[in-house]
Amino acid sequence: MKLIMMTPICLFTFNRLNETKQTIDALKKNFLAPESNLFIFSDGARNDKDLDKIEAVRKYLKSVTGFKTIKIIESNENKGLATSIINGVTEVLSEYENVIVLEDDLITSHNFLNYMNLALLFYQNDLNIQSISGYSLLLSDKSNEVNFQTRTFSWGWGTWKNRWNPNIFDKKRIKVAINSSPGILNKFKQKCGADMPKMLLDSLSGKNDSWYIRWTFDHFMNKHYAVFPSYSFVTNIGHNLDATHCKGINTYISKPVNQNKTEFNFPAFYPPHQQSNSEFLSYFSLKHKILIRIKLLKTQTGRKQIFKEVKMKMGL
């Protein structure tokens, strides 16, 4: 496969300077960074406490180099993560045929952009596929370089103009779909994970600001799939008290990819094997989350993580 034009990158930032620097430093080290157009969206302050932090982030962003072009879009108001991503991706896809999306707490491998660009090119005409994930959970089946799942992931991903529409995220539309299809949430749970129905209902009621759950629900409703690599091109560094959504302990396990690999053998789409699907979904179960924490209790570092998480949840 020969790349004619690099896919533009959308990076969404807020008030975390340290994580933002690490994210951009890693992205700059990508082999294809000098040929890529980077769009950086900087969300506005929620309150006065955010102002200095956001100003520090924006000052740093103005010093960034290492890409073909860089465009910084600053918001005067706080849109929140969901609106920022929905509007930002829509804006970029009004000019381009596809897009790669990152948030400000993701460390990418040197070949992340190679994989994403090539995967977007290979699957561009296969309408079974709705998104490409750069992150991957650790699965035992590595017979192919990628696998397919209905549940997508938000830690470094890409899609195409003809698979994206702001209406996907319309809450009224989703409520109608749920109310007109008895049992749909149970099917959603079986297909995409035990945590999905509550996350979706919380999004619809405003208890969370997740665009991702509505994006996953659209994959499910349309019987579309996400492509996952066998090894992960992304590491999340955002599980801390300052995070908007990834607070607490990261219970997802992955294995880093060989960073020097730049060619990939993508298979044509095939329905995911039951074993692979079950193993993938097990990461989102309450049992898995409890087992991870039990293992952490066996080490001093792990006990400190548990203690911090408990304090956070108790509001201490």
pLDDT above 70 (res 315): no
Residue 69 lies in a domain: yes
Task: Count CB atoms within 10 A of the CB of residue 46.
Answer: 15
Tell me the mean pLDDT in the region 5-29: 97
Residue 265 lies in a domain: yes
Residue 298 lies in a domain: no
Residue 28 lies in a domain: yes
- The pLDDT of residue 241: 46
What is the total residue count of the chain?
A: 316
Residue 3 lies in a domain: no
Q: Which domain, by its residues, includes 191?
A: 9-284
pLDDT band at 299 (very low <50, low <70, confident <90, very high): confident
> Scanning the structure block, which residue is given the tokens 């993508």?
266
CATH at 49: 3.90.550.10
How many domains does the structure of the chain reveal?
Answer: 1
Q: Model pTM?
A: 0.92
Residue 54 lies in a domain: yes
pLDDT above 60 (res 120): yes
- The pLDDT of residue 210: 95
* Tens digits of residue pLDDT in 202-260: 999 999 999 999 999 999 999 999 999 999 999 999 864 444 444 567 778 778 888 99
| Range name among 104-113, 140-149, 298-307 with the lowest pLDDT average | 298-307
Residue 295 lies in a domain: no
* Tens digits of residue pLDDT in 141-183: 888 899 999 999 999 999 999 999 999 999 999 999 999 999 9
The answer to whether 299 and 292 have CB atoms below 8 angstroms apart is no
User: Is 177 or 306 the better-scoring residue by pLDDT?
Assistant: 177
Residue 213 lies in a domain: yes
- How buried is residue 186: exposed, middle or buried, by Cβ count under 10 Å (0-12/13-18/19+)? exposed
Give buried/exposed letters for 210-219 (b at 16+ CB in 10 A, else e). bbbbbbbbbb
| Range name among 28-37, 78-87, 128-137, 264-273 with the lowest pLDDT average | 264-273
